[in-house]
């Protein structure tokens, strides 16, 4: 899940070897034995890129698509027309998000083959929105503290319960860690782990052939959502994300980046730099806005995300605004105070009697 990033200049600084993506159900060979499959999705972001890696007379799949009949029928076509009913011998999930892991269980069951993912991502699969038709108090309180209205919170909750977020779970997995090596066909792929978009996201790096399957950890044109959610209200995913951008610099700049959304590109280090700048600018926007007054998350959100397409987008934008606030809070740059149901934020060094005389004053 990702959000559009403004600015065409950034887009043009990267080099895209393929002008158009393959049609749904068709593939583009991006390297010998590496196929790029574009899977359609009925979301704001209308597709995900999946990859098939040849392994002898079989195939390894990287990411799966949403758990929908539409995705299953694309896969059926691929099995028949692209890999000619050769077996799938393993499935790698870069991370637990629904578009990447929705069909892990279905594919694993169908081919009786293992699923490879990190422990953090496997465990996250099992943290689902509640079965209840009404939002639980933790979910409601989390968004109230952000300054979101009760009616809007109910809309957020309804959106999370949509059918395409259902998954078929794999019952077992093989654990990937930072530095794990997978031998697939004639290639060795080393696991590089990132965090901030999801807990323990696996990227795959083939140093010999300069290929890098980046999942959602590095995307061109759009920036991955770095969001705080109700399950951990005080999380600081932006610190993890910025550290991961540094960590990914150990991957060679020359690689062909194979991302989960948009198109494959060259220019990894440039893109890492752009993504860092994007978040530093957002942090500065927040600090500037708080220069003269205290504000809620909901008041700050439009400054960072002036355009939101739908409720899901609004929920992500709220969580991402909070990610920037939690980062600044951990750094001691801002403080927060609860007034009624809602947090208000101000600059830490600023005397603010209204903040200090109302509710609990909490700092990092
Ligand atoms: Zn994701």
pLDDT in tens, 259-310: 999 999 999 999 999 999 999 999 999 999 999 899 999 999 999 999 988 8
pLDDT band (50, 70, 90) for residue 97: very high
| 42, burial (CB in 10 Å: exposed 0-12, middle 13-18, buried 19+) | exposed
Contacts for 137-144: CB closer than 8 Å, 24+ residues apart: 138/230, 138/231, 139/230, 141/341, 142/229, 142/230, 142/233, 143/230, 143/318, 144/341, 144/342
How are the residues of the chain apportioned to helix, strand and coil, as percentages rounded to the nearest 5? 35, 25, 40
Distance between CA 53 and CA 240 in Å, rounded?
29
C-alpha of residue 289 to centroid of ligand 1, in Å: 29
Predicted confidence at residue 168, as pLDDT, reads 78
Render 261-314 in DSSP notation, one character per residue.
Answer: SS--EE-HHHHHHHHHHHHHHHHHHHHHHTTSS-B-HHHHHHHH-S---SHHHH
What tens digit of pLDDT does each residue of 1-39 get? 344 344 333 455 899 999 899 988 789 999 999 999 999
C-alpha of residue 2 to centroid of ligand 1, in Å: 7
All structural domains of the chain: 2-128+167-279 (3.60.15.10), 133-165+290-364 (1.10.10)
C-alpha of residue 85 to centroid of ligand 1, in Å: 29
C-alpha of residue 272 to centroid of ligand 1, in Å: 17
Nearest to 21 by CA among 44, 43, 50, 61: 50
Predicted confidence at residue 128, as pLDDT, reads 66
C-alpha of residue 95 to centroid of ligand 1, in Å: 7
What tens digit of pLDDT does each residue of 130-185 get? 667 788 899 999 999 999 999 999 988 887 776 556 677 899 999 999 999 999 99
Nearest to 143 by CA among 297, 282, 3: 297
Overall pTM surpassing 0.85 (yes/no): yes
C-alpha of residue 290 to centroid of ligand 1, in Å: 30
* Mean pLDDT, all residues of the chain: 90
| In the chain, alpha helices (H) | 8-12, 69-77, 98-101, 104-111, 119-124, 137-145, 150-160, 237-247, 268-289, 297-304, 311-330, 353-356
Residues 6+ apart with CB under 8 A from 96: 117, 121, 122, 124, 125, 198, 199
Conformation bin of residue 86: beta by default, left when phi > 0, alpha when psi is -120 to 50: beta
Residue pair 65/48 in contact by the 8 Å Cβ criterion: yes
Residue pair 17/32 in contact by the 8 Å Cβ criterion: no
Q: Residue 152: how many CB atoms within 10 A of its CB? A: 17
Strand pairing of 256-259 and 211-215? parallel
C-alpha of residue 197 to centroid of ligand 1, in Å: 6
C-alpha of residue 108 to centroid of ligand 1, in Å: 21
Tokens of 304: 């960072």
| In 41-95, alpha helices (H) | 69-77
C-alpha of residue 216 to centroid of ligand 1, in Å: 5
C-alpha of residue 295 to centroid of ligand 1, in Å: 29
Distance between CA 173 and CA 192 in Å, rounded?
18
C-alpha of residue 99 to centroid of ligand 1, in Å: 7
Distance between CA 75 and CA 69 in Å, rounded?
10
C-alpha of residue 262 to centroid of ligand 1, in Å: 13
Distance between CA 174 and CA 213 in Å, rounded?
19
Q: What are phi and psi of 52, to 5 degrees?
A: -120, 130
Average pLDDT over residues 111-137: 88
C-alpha of residue 222 to centroid of ligand 1, in Å: 12
Residue pair 300/282 in contact by the 8 Å Cβ criterion: no
C-alpha of residue 217 to centroid of ligand 1, in Å: 8
């Amino acid at each position: 899940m990702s959000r559009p990033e403004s600015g065409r200049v950034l887009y043009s600084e990267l080099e895209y070897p393929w002008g158009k993506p393959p049609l749904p159900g068709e593939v583009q060979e991006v390297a010998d034995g590496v196929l790029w499959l574009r899977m359609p999705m009925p979301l704001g972001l209308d597709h995900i890129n999946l990859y098939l890696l040849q392994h002898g007379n079989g195939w390894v799949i990287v990411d799966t698509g949403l758990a929908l009949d539409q995705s299953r029928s694309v896969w059926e076509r691929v099995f028949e027309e692209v890999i000619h009913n050769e077996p799938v011998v393993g499935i790698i999930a870069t991370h637990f998000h629904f578009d990447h892991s929705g069909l892990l269980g279905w594919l694993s069951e169908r081919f009786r083959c293992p699923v490879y993912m990190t422990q953090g991502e496997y465990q996250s699969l099992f943290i689902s929105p509640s079965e209840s038709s009404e939002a639980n108090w933790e979910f409601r309180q989390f968004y109230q503290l952000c300054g979101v209205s009760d009616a809007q919170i109910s809309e957020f909750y309804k959106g999370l319960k949509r059918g395409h977020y259902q998954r078929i779970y794999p019952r077992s997995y093989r654990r990937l860690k930072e530095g794990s090596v997978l031998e697939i066909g004639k290639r060795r792929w080393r696991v590089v782990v990132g965090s901030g978009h999801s807990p323990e996201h696996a990227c795959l790096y083939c140093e010999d052939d300069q290929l890098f399957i980046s999942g959602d950890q590095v995307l061109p044109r759009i920036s991955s959502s770095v969001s705080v959610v109700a399950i951990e209200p005080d999380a600081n995913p932006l610190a993890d994300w910025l550290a991961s951008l540094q960590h990914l610099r150990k991957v060679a700049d020359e690689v062909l980046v194979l991302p989960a959304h948009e198109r494959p590109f060259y220019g990894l280090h440039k893109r890492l730099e752009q993504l860092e700048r994007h978040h530093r600018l957002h942090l500065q926007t927040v600090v500037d806005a708080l220069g003269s007054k205290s504000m809620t998350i909901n008041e700050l959100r439009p400054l960072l995300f002036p355009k939101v397409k739908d409720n899901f987008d609004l929920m992500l934008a709220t969580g991402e605004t909070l990610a920037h606030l939690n980062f600044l809070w951990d750094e001691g740059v801002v403080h927060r105070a609860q007034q009624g149901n809602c947090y208000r934020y101000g600059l830490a060094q600023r005397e603010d009697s209204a903040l200090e005389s109302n509710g609990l004053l909490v700092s990092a």
